[in-house]
Chains A and B, each alone.
Chain A
Amino acid sequence: QQPVQSPQAVILREGEDAVINCSSSKALYSVHWYRQKHGEAPVFLMILLKGGEQKGHDKISASFNEKKQQSSLYLTASQLSYSGTYFCGTEIRNTGNQFYFGTGTSLTVIP
């Protein structure tokens, strides 16, 4: 029931774009996205409900395809501060909305 993220790791130069994907085998109620920097707690980025696009902060946005149980996180014109591990979190329908974090994607932005 843990969603799978891809890629596992990505290295970008400042200003480049990246896409992180999150895929679940279960029907989803919502998808969350979090970023965790080394030695710190995860920080909430955004939540998506029922196939909507959600504009986040800075140049980070996401989409949620409810039919495919997939979500994608888009990072445009990446900054050094974007470095960290990104997790999606999924609430599964009809399970009392159990919540599972994805496998994580390590993103490193270099100058």
Chain B
Amino acid sequence: EVQLLESGGGLEQSGGSLRLSCAASGFTFTSYAMSWVRQAPGKGLEWVSTLSTSGATTYYADSVKGRFTISRDTSKNTLYLQMNSLRAEDTAVYYCAKKGGTTTPGNYFDYWGQGTLVTVSS
């Protein structure tokens, strides 16, 4: 059974930093691209960042580029999101999501974690 368990959220001041973690199990972690998707309170879904299957390529939404860094530790089957220079508009539930399919093109999400809430106070 695929499981994704996020942690690391909390309350942080504007300009501060947080590191989110996503512990993955139930699948071969290194065979799938992994992503972070966020949802501000009462708002829709926003893709944030993706790490390629190989771990060599990263992708970021313009809204977080230069401030957030996605990475993984394959020995721990864990995905990370380092969030620096936080802003009030980064306040959201952050979901870890697994790419659907190994060889299928594109990047849709077949499994999601429960999410971790990040609140940035100004």
Whether both chains belong to one complex is answered with no
Residues of A within 8 A of B (CB): none
Residues of B within 8 A of A (CB): none
